[in-house]
Every structure is written in C-alpha cells, then in structure tokens.
A and B are shown apart, each in its own frame.
Chain A
C-alpha cells in the first residue's frame, strides 16, 4: 500500500480520487433510496407544498389494492415464462455455436443484434410484426391463431410480450453462456469422451452441472429485468388491450406520475423491490449450493 505521511495530503487525494463518484452515488442512489422509504409514510401529489403524514396507511392501501396485486401476479407469470424460455433458447444457441461449425461468429453476431436496440423501439418493431406480418400470415394460411392481431387479444398480448422479451435477451444470455462453455475444462471433457460417455450424457452429467455459475448469472439478470420491465411493455402493448397487460412497473409509474399519488406509488415500488430482491437472492443462494467443482 502506498500511503501519504501527510494527513492533509492524504485527505486531499481521498477527495480527489473518490470524491466525485461517492458524491454522485450518494446523491443519485443513497439519498433517493432513503428518501423513498420516508415518502411511503406520507400522502403527496408530487406538487403541493403540504405533505401530510399518514403512517402506514399507504402500505395498508398497497396490501388491499387488488389491481396492484393482479399486475404483480401478471408480472410473476411473465417472469416465470421469460426466465425459462430465455435461458432455454440462449443455452441451446450457445451450445450449438460453440461446437466448431462454420460461420459461428456470424450466427453469434446476428443473435446478439436485438440487444443493440432499446426496449421501447423493440416494442414498436414487434408491434408492426404482430399487426401486419402475423395477420398477413393468417390471411394466406387461414390459421386461426393469426386471424387477428395478437395485440388485441388479452391472452395473446401477454404471450406477444413474452416472445419479444425472449427475442430481446436470448442473444445477450447466449454471450454469457458462450463464455462459460469456452472455459469448461477441456481435459475433463476429453476424458469423458474417451470413457465412452455419449453426447447426451456429457451434456446432462457434465456440461450442465459445470455451467451452474453461468446459469446463476443469467437467471439473476433475467429475473431482475423481468420484474422491472417497462419499456417493452410500454412500446408493444402500452398496457392494453383494456389494461390486461399492465405490469407492475407500469402500474407504479401510472400511480405516481399520472394519478399523482407519490406516497402510495412509492410504497408499491418498495414492495415490488422487496419481492424482487427476495426472489433473486434466494435464487442466487440456491444456485451457489448447486455449484460443483470440475
């Protein structure tokens, strides 16, 4: 360690090197987080100068707000569907593009493309797909599933959101899986091959268990993003049809910034955060226990 003898000098360097980030980190994350907790105990419209203290009644309201809970429940279903599909598709793609076939880099680059574009615009792009391409397919083939736009049907609009999300993140998670697959111990895999383990056995008994650390990361990321999804939701369905796809994040946004109920909105945001944090931490904890050494 290199430390200055002079105290003033030392303090000066501490401020010079860590001051800007610590200051901004505190101003943008720490204080708003704490102030957010404080806000949940008040009734406030975001504008007026009076902010009456209401104790825990915002939380009582959250607990009794059935619309909030149905948006949370919808989010949970969405998270479940997307986490499974994203990870399944991403792992399959990663496995196939690391087997030494021709054009691997081209395929990887193509699958990653959706991640270059923000969720809002992806939502817009797919809105066009569902409203025009899918219905055109329906006209030509007569398939009932494509007879009218998915975005106008309450159940199908949900699956439209799932499809777009999987399309968006599969390439990203694939990249993480590729890194994991590349670092598998080659000698162990070779030994298994020589000992006569077939492709399926190698995959299920060796590759998958050794890939647990990658799965911890990808599931963590897909869980967190799923719980907080806003832009795809806003861009693709805008919450419709008839409010059937309003997910938790959109619900919170509307509560605070459209219905001007900051205190209750923040209480909902806080409950949502606790729920998401609990689930992601549990997932990481269980995942860590499943890790094996090569």
Chain B
C-alpha cells in the first residue's frame, strides 16, 4: 500500500478538486435557471456573469489542476514503486496553488473578476484575480518538476527497462503542461498584470488572444490525459482482462503532446488578427490530433472485448453484455465513450475551417465541451475517485450501488443538458448570455429547449452532490484500516523493451519546439513588427 504521508498529500489534492467541483455544479444549476428567464426573482446579469466566471475557473483550473497533481503523485509512487521524491516541494506546490485559488476567489465571488475564465481583455479584473491564477499555475509547475525528476531518476536506475505506461503518460502530461501554460503565463505576466497595475496604459488584444490560444487548446489534453491513463491501465483490469496492446498506447500519448500543442488557432478562426494561412495550418494539425484519440478508442475497446470474452460473452456484440457493468470504472468507460463519440462529432464541426462560422460562440460550443470535458473527462475522474478512495483512506466504499446510480445520473444529466444546447446552437443562440432579450421571431424558437436544459442541470447537480457524499461517507465512517493496492492492467510485450523513441521525451521536445516556432513564431512576431494599437482598460 502507498505510504501514509503520500496518501494524505493525494487526499488533500482530491478534496480541493472535488470540493471545487461540487460548488461549481451548484453555480451551474443557478446559471441554467437564471438564463431560462423562468424565475424573474433571480434575473441579474451581475450575479450571472460572476457565477459563470467562477464556474469556469473552478471547473477548468481548480478541479483539473488539483486532480491531476494528486493523481500524478499516486501514479508515480505506485507504478515506479519508489518513495515520493522531495515531498516538501510537492507540499509547496500544493500550498502555492491553494493560496492562488483563495486569492482569486475573493474578486471572483464579489463580482470583481467577471471576465470569464478566458480573461477577455480589454475588460479588466481585479489584480488579485490575475495574481491568484498565476500562483495556481506556478504551484502546478512544482508538480511538473517532481514528476519529471522521478521519471528520470527511475530511468537512470533501470537503464534497460521500459518506464511503466502510467508513469510515462504522467510525465508526458507534465511536459505538455509546461509547454502549454507558457502561453497564458506570458500573457498574464507581461501584458495583463503590468496593465492592471497601471505600469503600461494599453494592452494589445490581438497579441493577448494569440497567446491565450497557445494555451487554450493543449490545456484540454492536460485535463484528458489522466482520464486516458485510467482507460489504458485501470479499466482493462477492472473489466477482468488485460491491455490489448502497449506500444501504440505510448505513441498515442506522445502524439497528444506533440500534435496537441501547435494548433490553438482553431479557437481564432473567426478572429481578424491572424491570417488565413496560419489558421489553415493550425486547422490541419487539429485534425491530426484526432488520431491518438481514435487509437485510444480502438485499444481500450479491444481490451474490454478481451475481458468480455473471458467472462463468457460470445458473438459479435455478446461480449458487451458480459462486461461487469456495475463496476464503476467499466461503466464510466462505456458512458465516457458514448459521450466522446457525440462530443467528437461536434468537435469535428467546430474544427472544420469553414463550417465553424455556423456554430462559433453559440450554445453548440458549450454543448460540445461539456460532453468532452464534463462528460468524458470528469466521469472518468469520478471513476478514478471511486477506485482510488479505498487505496487512500484504507476503507472500502460505503456502498456498491450508489456509485453506479451516480455515474448513470451524471450521464443522463449530460444528455439532457447538452442535446438542447446543440440544437440551440444550430438555431443561433449565443453561448454567453444571461437572458434572451432579442425582440425577434427567430429567437422565439429557442424557448422549448430551455426547460430540458434546467432538468439536465438539476440531475447533474444532484449527481455531483451524491458523488461528494459517497466519498465523504466512505472516508468518515469508522472502519478498520485495510491494505488496498493500486494495480495496473498487465501487458506482455512480444520481444523485449519498447523502442527508445517510445521511452523518453528528448526528441519529442525538440519536435515540439520546431512546430511551435513554425506555427506561432511569425503570428506572435507580427504584433511587434507592425505598429498596433493597444486598448485602455474597460470595466464591465
């Protein structure tokens, strides 16, 4: 079993993550109710946009970062079978990140940072918001250091061996995050903070949006990689089988890191400050990065088929029924795939260079990323939570059926909420409005969908609170401590260790550098070559 101090470290991370998540869900419920206009008493753009900003920050930055850090420590210690390197540094990372969250929470909750989690200059928030976000990122960088050092120390001690897949993927994620977060760090440190403190008068919005787009796409792979680790290494075992294959799995993680970074301009297709050529280049990369996800789908489904057949399932589809559907990891994987297929289809529409104009900034986009993030990714975070809780607390879960109910209700809520969003998006409803105030016949067609959205929000919030309850109840009840091990799905390689290219990152870092210079070099440089005009700060 993992040593006690590391278990406590991980539990602290998970509680910050899941606490932020539960709070963000309650805010989400308020938002669907408010924007439907059905309860006039709660109509308020001021409260709504403060809530949307807080919801976005809690979900996209706090839930993810703390979950990923806690999970990373567990993976490192359990897969490498070595003690945690430099626990003090790990705690410092936790402390700095948590302090950053508290600092950013003050202006967010008081309506002094209603600039959404995407910042949106020249709207200007309280400086505490930018400082808090920076500290959160700086804390996570310390986690990256711990992961990378543990990876290379293990490799030095085991020169002819293959780094275990979960740790290889975790290190890939740490490297991805260092590259990814650099864009937003440059924007905040060199543009937003000096401008908010009044050291410079104006901010170049075109440059700020370009830097943010650098971060905005690969950040979703930072969130997704832990979910993929669970798919590759926990799910096959939970289903009663083994990993179908191993090498392409490692290649898939590498492809996410290398192709995922230089493609952010698909968020800027509709923007005037970048030219068509670079947008098209990033668009091509966006399609290439679908490949690792298609490979992951194949490998994980094939692994589950092995398990299903081993459990007596036969025929073309009979193995699906034979899977242990009441096993949270297996159920979550199946539901995650269903949401990934629907969300992936929406993503292809968004990524399509020309078709994007139809859906850009409409409710379709909210539907898409809620399916991919809150659906696919978070449902696997939940399943990891259920798997890991006994291994951190030493106590079994308080119930076997409640997690199953909770995962199904999360899926149902997502379907109920995101289906109307996709339809509303096609009908042209903007994603970020607090009420429908357009005096137009076209927009009357939106009304019936608002109701389904509220039911979805209610189911989701109930499900999120149930999730927090199960974890709390399991940890708090009195029970004798037992030893639960973290175990990973087995794979027997055909002949010897993997190719060195699939066992390290040096070459790949050079490849990323080249691609980043190619895809972002001139697009950033152009703001310094031409005489651009910055914007003064604006309130909201």
Tell whether A and B belong to one assembly.
no
Contact surface of B with A, Cβ cutoff 8 Å: none
